[in-house]
């Protein structure tokens, strides 16, 4: 398992060969190159002949602060295509036109980029970008499937307005998505197949009247990060989410939006018996108003206003009554006696792991991209994760969960 430093600096010093082809989206790959420079990757770039009609060689050289190669017969390095293929840890072709993909899929080697890919046997990523009708052509789709079988990772194009004005699939994706795919190639992940996971995330909202409610500052970032990480580990993931501003991770089995604690309880209980893993990251309101006012409470009525509260169901406690072979993970956000309160919840709710964090500290936890947590196991073992990104914390938690499932498998 990677340390936080290794995780966040995963691309530092990595030798990345960028291939650019002749499509209008090529200007966006300048942003990719710029971002990889910020990640301190070691870059070299190959441009096809047609790509140079859109953007000059000197532009890529300036943005990437690196060498740019265009001619297979320019022997400023010995035998360019084999030298570059040996040098690189990974090759990323962005954008990849239908023409270039067809050549690679069928073994053509008529320019420096296609010659280099033919000689390359490490990590390979393609970013298809083209007109929707070209993308949906059966020949292109067949070539993409063939490339996948040949070991190419495909970063799917987005759906939207294309350069020609058509609407459809074929847009160059966000560079953050491409960089994430590159990083994932270098991050060693334990995987497991055939299991399902249920993740809850975000806050719940309990309405007082049509404009006021009881809630909390949970952003949902931790739960969404865990759902995304579990997908990368091979789980079929259902995400039940309270209101957030986040986009659901791709490749979810099911996304279930809810608002109140009662709704989250019902949707979780409905699916719990059919899942192998429950990760309860949601910050669920403990109480709700006994009744929601149909009309807005006027400010003149607010003086001396009393709101009667009733207790919401304790979702973890209730679903654990139906536990058979499932693994259950809870979260404890505490402002005092962190370990004591977390250990009590671990025991009372029959959890297999609890993740505890101190919400009294600034700069971590609610709404932040960072957190600092303690992982507490049923045998009393406590593991501390230093202040790090929620993506890294999700990575560590999922690593531990894979170990739990593997140990469980050995006992059966």
Which residue in the block uniquely carries the two structure tokens 């929620």?
390
Task: Give the angle 4-8-12 at the CA atoms, nearest 5°.
Answer: 125
- Dist CA 276 CA 197 (whole Å): 6
Are the beta carbons of 204 and 284 closer than 8 angstroms?
yes
- Dist CA 198 CA 346 (whole Å): 18
SS3 content of the chain, % helix, strand, coil (to 5): 35, 25, 40
- Dist CA 102 CA 142 (whole Å): 9
Longest dimension (CA), the chain: 85
Name the packing angle between helices 175-186 and 26-38 (round to 10°): 50
Cβ-Cβ contacts under 8 Å for 314 (sequence gap 6 or more): 349
- Of the candidates 150, 164, 310, 339, the residue annotated as catalytic is 164
SS3 of 61-83: the string is HHHHCCCEECCCCCCCCCCHHHH
91: β partners: 17, 124
The string of DSSP letters for 16-78 reads: EEEEE-SSTTHHHHHHHHHHHHHTT-EEEEEE-TGGGGTS-HHHHHHHHTS-EE--TT-TTSS
Is 66 one of the annotated active-site residues of the chain?
no
Closest residue by Cα to residue 222 from 389, 399, 2:
389
Closest residue by Cα to residue 93 from 174, 20, 185:
20
Distances (CA, A) of 332 to 176, 281, 337, 344, 397: 31, 9, 11, 10, 14
Are the beta carbons of 247 and 298 closer than 8 angstroms?
no
> What are the tokens at 392?
């890294």
Measured in degrees and rounded to the nearest 5, phi and psi for residue 101 equal -65, -40
- Residues annotated as catalytic (active site), given as ranges: 164
């Amino acid at each position: 398992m990677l340390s936080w430093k290794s995780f966040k600096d995963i691309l530092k010093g990595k030798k990345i060969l960028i291939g650019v082809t002749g499509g209008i989206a090529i200007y966006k790959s300048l942003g990719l190159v710029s971002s990889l420079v910020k990640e301190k990757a070691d870059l070299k770039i190959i441009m096809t002949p047609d790509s140079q009609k859109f953007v000059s060689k000197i532009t890529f050289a300036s943005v990437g602060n690196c060498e740019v190669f265009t001619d297979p017969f320019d022997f400023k390095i010995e035998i360019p295509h084999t030298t570059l293929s040996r040098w690189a840890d990974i090759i990323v072709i962005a954008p990849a036109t239908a023409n270039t993909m067809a050549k690679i899929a069928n073994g053509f080697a008529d320019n420096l980029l296609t010659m280099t890919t033919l000689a390359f046997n490490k990590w390979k990523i393609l970013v298809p970008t083209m007109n929707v009708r070209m993308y949906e052509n059966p020949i292109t789709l067949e070539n993409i499937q063939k490339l996948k079988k040949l070991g190419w990772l495909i970063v799917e194009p987005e759906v939207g307005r294309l350069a020609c004005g058509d609407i459809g699939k074929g847009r160059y994706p966000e560079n953050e998505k491409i960089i994430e795919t590159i990083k994932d190639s270098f991050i060693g992940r334990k995987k497991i197949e055939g299991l399902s996971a249920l993740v809850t995330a975000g806050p719940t909202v309990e309405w007082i009247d049509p404009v006021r409610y009881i809630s909390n500052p949970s952003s949902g970032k931790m739960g969404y990060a865990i759902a995304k990480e579990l997908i990368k580990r091979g789980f079929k993931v259902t995400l039940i989410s309270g209101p957030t501003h986040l986009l659901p991770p791709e490749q979810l089995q099911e996304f279930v939006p809810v608002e109140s604690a009662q709704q989250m309880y019902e949707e979780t209980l409905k699916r719990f018996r059919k899942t192998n893993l429950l990760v309860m990251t949601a910050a669920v309101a403990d109480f709700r108003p006994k009744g929601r006012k149909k009309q807005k409470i006027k400010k003149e009525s607010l003086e001396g206003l009393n709101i009667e509260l009733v207790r919401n169901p304790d979702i973890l406690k209730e679903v654990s009554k139906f536990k058979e072979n499932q693994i259950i993970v809870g979260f404890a956000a505490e402002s005092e006696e962190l370990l004591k309160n977390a250990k009590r919840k671990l025991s009372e709710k029959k959890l297999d792991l609890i993740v505890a964090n101190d919400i009294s500290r600034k700069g971590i936890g609610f709404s932040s991209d960072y957190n600092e947590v303690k992982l507490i196991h049923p045998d009393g073992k406590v593991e501390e994760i230093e202040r790090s990104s929620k993506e890294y914390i999700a990575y560590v938690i999922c690593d531990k969960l894979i170990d739990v499932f593997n140990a469980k498998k050995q006992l059966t």
